[in-house]
Structure 1
């Protein structure tokens, strides 16, 4: 029976920084999927590579794949189009993998017999990929591998988004000036809730909400809810 992914999910969920998140996945993922080579690539909004972590992958392969592999990679194309994980047997007709341009140009030279790629998503966009390869005579990836891999990609993407949001919020001095309760209230104000609705959501009185907003207005030096939301936009829940 396959190993439970829950220990890995816990490692992902408790990662305190983006760097630690990447390292935890890189250090542990092979134990769950029987892979010999793997990596994580992250890009910015202009599609520039901002980080690349890999195990068992040579610099020469990375360079060759960037130059010759990406334009002809059917698995990556599927991930780009559908924001879902895929392996070669999912996207190519049965028995044609070794005749594909990607295999001929890149994978055969470096003994990548089977590959699987999954999306890293942020704000509805593809911001990276997680990449697996099995070498030698290992089995191809199957539907069960794909489902489990999809769960890892979801957990990784969620935690990465949380860490990046907190990083942006931490740079906003107005957000930092608020207490945890005031931040809760600010998020509900941004959602358009009234004072009675905020009170009901947080189990506090309407007057408590009113007094909290007065304090928040003074701290932030604003006179309206709209001004407050604009000053706090970097920290508010999206």
Structure 2
């Protein structure tokens, strides 16, 4: 029987994009840790037109104001509030009852902290412990591997040798879509996708989908 932790690993590895990580994987992580709230935050997508929200976010992610954020930036290692501050100090930093216990882990890509996965528990619940940190570390390892593998999805592919339609196909290939899925997305037949890919391979002088995406991304 597959353990709950391995099911999370599988869910991460099967995720097609960041939206899927946030909507499908984050809730599973929260359930695993019996958390009140759980979320995955990618730093390059944390922009909001709401100024009040942005102020709160800037404080929450500030290494000066938040010892958890500082720990993540300096060590790239999972942490809960009990490792860095006393309960009294934490209550002053974050007085919200639904964030009384907080645990966060790093998502790292090319040596840089690119995202954070976080869980919170209410004041009436037990605090996170060392076993939770060990398990979160394993989850973060898979999330970091996913980020490294799928970072190309966040970059628009460009080439002066491909048509706009062919670039659309290349973008979907970079996201891991099959020929059938690409055909459904673009309202063309699977055979049309296959023929288009053959033309694209000849133009770019490549022999595989991965090589094509790598070449187009390298031209950024």
Q: TM-score, normalised by structure 2?
A: 0.64
Is residue 2:58 matched to residue 1:66? yes
Offset of 1:171 from its aligned partner? 4.9
Size of the aligned set, in residue pairs, is 174
Q: Distance in 2 between matches of 1:74 and 1:171?
A: 41
Is residue 2:32 matched to residue 1:32? yes
Please, which of 179, 192, 215 is the counterpart of residue 232 of structure 1? 215
RMSD of aligned residue pairs (Cα, Å): 3.8
Q: Secondary structure, in 3 states, of the residue corresponding to 1:119?
A: strand
Q: Runs (4+) of structure 1 moved beyond 6 Å?
A: 59-62, 173-177
Contact 2:41 2:117 in 1 (8 A): yes
Q: Secondary structure, in 3 states, of the residue corresponding to 1:137?
A: coil
Aligned runs of 1:59-98 on 2, under 5 Å? 63-64=55-56, 66-67=58-59, 70=62, 71-92=64-85, 96-98=86-88
Contact 1:61 1:110 in 2 (8 A): no
Offset of 1:68 from its aligned partner? 6.8
Q: 2:179 maps to which residue?
A: none
Q: Distance in 1 between matches of 2:204 and 2:61?
A: 52
Aligned runs of 1:99-178 on 2, under 5 Å? 100=89, 102-105=90-93, 107-165=94-152, 168=155, 171=158
Change (3 A) 1:144 1:118: same
Q: Distance in 2 between matches of 1:165 and 1:24?
A: 21
Q: Distance in 2 between matches of 1:18 and 1:27?
A: 14
Change (3 A) 1:110 1:65: farther
Q: TM-score, normalised by structure 1?
A: 0.59
Q: Distance in 2 between matches of 1:63 and 1:142?
A: 30
Offset of 1:4 from its aligned partner? 2.8
- Unaligned stretches of 5+ residues in structure 1: 52-58, 178-216, 222-227
Change (3 A) 1:81 1:137: same
